[in-house]
Amino acid sequence: MSSDEGYAIAVIGGATAGAEAAGVFSEHGVLTVVFEQNTRPYGKVEDGLPRWHAALRNKEYAAIDRKLTSPNVHYVPSTTVGEHVGLEELTGEWGFHAVVLANGAWRDRPLPVEGADALLGKGFAYQNAFIYWFNHYNEAAYDGEQYEILDGTLVVGGGLASIDVAKVIQLELCVRALAERGIEADLVETEVAGIPKTLQKLGLTWEELGVEGCTICYRRRPEDMPLVELPDDANDKVRERVARGRARILEKATEKYLFKVEALRAPSGLIVEDDRLAGLVCDVTKVEDGRARPTGETVELRAPMVISSIGSVPAPIAGVRMKGELYGFDDWDLGRMNEHPSLFGVGNVVTGKGNIVASRKHARSVATRITADHLELVRKVKKLEPLDDATRGELLRRVREQHERSGYSGDYAAWIDAATPDDRV
């Protein structure tokens, strides 16, 4: 490995992508400071993936821990960039040779129906906060938003995350209906076995439970759902295969968790009763050239609760240019903007969607390019000299200042231990 000692890089976000980038910089001897807004650095792995993914989460936690404790990596928890530290301070004042955005996509894309957001908490919810609640509500210290699982809930969206939201509702409804019959069922075990098999073992059926269940409402056809990625250069044969794969994934999920799907329905209006969302008016659509087009007909989908799961976008950070709901990157491979030559983006913050492997791969590839090309450029043009002792000392003083504010002693393992409630699964 080449040594880039004397260089310093800030990483914003310590989860899959941020930790991966930090690991690469550490291999190159770069002084790396990872700013993480939460106490624990696990991001979507902890708060986005539904909690039944226990084995995957533990594996990812261990990988993140290993990278954040690599040589030359300084973890700065409970520090929100844009609030405790400004982005411009990092790009301009601290002495960093590059700053890497690895802050993920934590804002739900707004449901494009006027007035919906005013009904949040009144029959309307978004996916990110809902899954956060699901993952943590069993903890005694949880004091966040509370959600009641209502039979007949409508989930808007068509990705894997919407299926997860539908699964949460179905599993909660199933466990609750069994509890009402005096049967204690474990939600995670029910997820593994599926609802029909769980009920079969108990000599019951879904119909006997008297549960209606939830419905996913999607604006295109099942075979259009982005459940399997379509390669950019796909020919007709590949398109057909992908379409079949998508339809099959959805079919398997509906067989195993018994939720329903209303395809070709695009929300266009709200049904409001007693100041509460009571369902959606939807345009009936048809798919033309891959797009959902209204047919002119509408239907009412009544529901006691609507959860919007139509994608996540990065939260704005002062100093980062937006283009619509996304960051205004000019180079989408490296997550770069023309006006910020030393700013890069990795993982979900750039890709928006994706998965753990995609976030990790993207982070490794960009971080490798930073060490190979960007630091080399910095060296050549000498716009930024390697850190001298005074600048390094000042940078580390600022890191200590943030540590003092957050109460972090520098002992990563002890911090994580203290930040983990005993009853966290």
Q: Of 52, 308, 48, whose CA–CA distance to 172 is shortest?
A: 52
114 is written with which tokens? 């006027």
Distance (Å) of CA 262 to CA 139, 165, 174, 212, 218:
34, 15, 21, 14, 6
Characterize 177-189 residue by residue with b for buried, 16 or more Cβ atoms within 10 angstroms of its Cβ, and e for exposed: bbeeeeeebebee
Please, what is the minimum distance in Å from the beta carbon of residue 315 to ligand FAD?
6
Contact (Cβ atoms closer than 8 angstroms) between residue 142 and residue 323: no
- What the block records as the tokens of 60 is 């990812």
Q: SS3 for 289-334, per residue?
A: CCEEEEEEEEEEEECCCEEECCCEECCCCCCCCEECCEECCCECCC
By beta-carbon proximity to ligand FAD, the closer residue of 393 and 421 is: 421
Q: Tell me how far, at minimum, the Cβ of 307 lies from ligand FAD, in Å.
A: 11
Q: Are 326 and 107 in contact (CB under 8 A)?
A: no
Binding site for ligand FAD (CB under 6 A): 12-18, 35-38, 41, 43-45, 48-49, 53, 80-82, 102-104, 106, 131, 161, 164, 317, 347-348, 354-357, 359
CB atoms within 10 A of CB 41: 28
CB-nearer residue toward ligand FAD: 7 or 130: 130
Say which residues have a Cβ less than 8 Å from residue 329's Cβ, sequence separation at least 6.
323, 335, 336, 337, 345, 350
Nearest to ligand FAD of 51, 221 (CB atom): 51
In 3D space, the residue among 270, 260, 83, 253 whose CA is nearest the CA of residue 164 turns out to be 253
User: Which lies closer to ligand FAD via its Cβ, residue 153 or residue 359?
Assistant: 359
Name which of 16 and 308 has its Cβ closer to ligand FAD. 16
- The minimum distance between CB 64 and ligand FAD, in angstroms, equals 9
What is the closest distance, in whole angstroms, from the C-beta atom of residue 116 to ligand FAD in the complex? 20
Instruction: Fill in the amino acid letter for 320.
Output: V
- Residue with smaller CB distance to ligand FAD, 10 or 282: 10
Shortest spacing between CB 199 and ligand FAD, in angstroms:
25
Q: Do you know the residue count of the chain?
A: 425
Minimum distance from residue 6 beta carbon to ligand FAD (Å): 25
Closer by beta carbon to ligand FAD, 19 or else 154: 19
Query: Whole-number minimum distance, CB 182 to ligand FAD, in Å?
Result: 32
Q: Are 190 and 155 in contact (CB under 8 A)?
A: no
Closest contact distance (angstroms) between CB of 365 and ligand FAD is: 13
- Nearest to ligand FAD by Cβ — which residue? 104
Judged by beta carbon, residue 40 or residue 221, the one nearer ligand FAD is 40
Q: Are 97 and 378 in contact (CB under 8 A)?
A: yes
* Residue 8 or 85 with smaller CB distance to ligand FAD: 85
Neighbours of 137 (CB within 10 A): 13
Beta carbons within 10 angstroms of residue 370's beta carbon = 28
Return the number of the residue (161 or 370) whose C-beta is nearest ligand FAD: 161
To 5 degrees, how large is the angle CA 188–CA 228–CA 220? 100
If the CB atoms of residues 55 and 390 are measured against ligand FAD, the closer one turns out to be: 55
Q: How far is the CB of 321 from ligand FAD (least distance, A)?
A: 16
Q: Which two tokens stand for residue 356?
A: 């753990």
Query: In whole angstroms, how close is the CB of 171 to ligand FAD at the nearest point?
Result: 14
Helix (H) or strand (E) holding 217: strand 215-217
Q: How far is the CB of 249 from ligand FAD (least distance, A)?
A: 12
Torsion (CA) 296, 111, 308, 157 in degrees, nearest 10:
50
